[in-house]
Amino acid sequence: MKVVAVGGGTGLSTLLKGLKREVGEVIKELSAIVTVADSGGSTGRLRRIYNIPAPGDIRNCIVALSESEEVMQSLFQYRFKGDGLGGHAFGNLFLTALTEITGSFLEAVKLTSQILRTKGDIIPSTVEDVHLVARFSNGEVVQGEEEITEYGKKREANVEDIWIEPRDAKAPIEAIAAIEKANIILFGPGSLYTSIIPNLLIKDIREAVERSSALKVFIVNAMTQPGETDEFTAYDHLRTFLEMTRLSRVDAVIVNTKMPSGDILKKYLEQGQEPVTPDIAKIAKEGVRVFAEDLIGDRDSFVRHDPDRLTELIVKIVRNEIFSEL
């Protein structure tokens, strides 16, 4: 089985941690297509200086798929303190330096993946210096991933349209090749507007996904996100994904049905986040297969998909939906 996972942020790196355990078993080839439109923190500072694609999500995915010693993984996630380098992640600086040395962001990603011995390919959705732009329902136009989320938190308006600039940004041939070979393409989990959708705003990637005969699976977030998906149900996530990316369909949707424990739920509610309502019947009426299970972890003090549970469900879907047809 050849798997392509599309997204960014914590959601994608969490998924990859689970999927990498199946590489060499159920999974023959694993590729992650990662957004590079981040504008905040260490990534944003480096982008403004060097005019490069965002390295932060790439770094997290490389570490997630790494088979190197734990100390190397910790090194790439290490954040400096104090003035000057304060807040920068070592991995971001490493990728930036390699980009400057090789003259290619894509080559820097490949070399870093070799150094950390990743069990799969990490591919930026573009190697161009792209920026995310959104128009809200009140007419306000906001540029920058972090800025879009922060403006959304004001609750003055909803995202009406979203695009990348330059609009004609190209995808690496490696990304298109991975999509064309894939048996299954996974979208999410992760920030809907700023981690998942941006990849599909690149025309080459959207058209390759649209042409692909692979099983297309959308993974709904477990919790709403302030400034992006306030009060969204599972169906709202799917509807928005299809509308904003202009994809014609997905074949299946994965939905979490487990509620967080009381104390954790209270903390999230105080932050303006709530569990995503699994309105499964509404999705099913659209002719989309729904796989609903308890998918969040038990041990963490925060809510996110458990990598092993999510991977087990994906493997089950593959066996039922793909292998059964062979």
* pTM summary value: 0.95
The pLDDT score that the predictor gives to residue 215 is 97
Per residue in 7-25, pLDDT tens?
999 999 999 999 999 999 9
The pLDDT score that the predictor gives to residue 156 is 84
CA distances from residue 45 to 92, 159, 226, 323 in whole angstroms, order as listed: 10, 25, 24, 46
All residues at 6 or more sequence positions from 111 whose CB lies less than 8 Å from its CB, including other chains: 98, 102
Instruction: List helix spans (H) across the chain.
Output: 9-19, 41-50, 56-65, 70-77, 90-102, 105-115, 145-152, 173-181, 197-200, 203-211, 234-245, 262-270, 280-284, 307-321
Could you tell me the domains of the chain?
2-325 (3.40.50.10680)
Average confidence (pLDDT) over 286-298: 93
Per residue in 107-153, pLDDT tens?
999 999 999 999 999 999 999 999 999 999 999 999 999 999 999 99
Q: At what angle do helices 90-102 and 105-115 cross, to 10 degrees?
A: 130
The band of 321, judged by pLDDT with boundaries at 50, 70 and 90, is confident
Query: In whole angstroms, what is the distance from residue 278 CA to residue 220 CA?
Result: 9
All residues at 6 or more sequence positions from 315 whose CB lies less than 8 Å from its CB, including other chains: 22, 26
The pLDDT score that the predictor gives to residue 320 is 82
Give the count of alpha carbons within 13 A of 220, CB side only.
Answer: 34
**Under 8 Å between Cβ of 185 and 216:** yes
User: Comparing C-alpha atoms, which of 179, 212, 189 is closest to residue 295?
Assistant: 189
**Under 8 Å between Cβ of 160 and 135:** yes
Write the single-letter amino acid at 196. I
Write the single-letter amino acid at 133. V
The pLDDT score that the predictor gives to residue 69 is 80
Residues of the chain above pLDDT 70, percent: 98
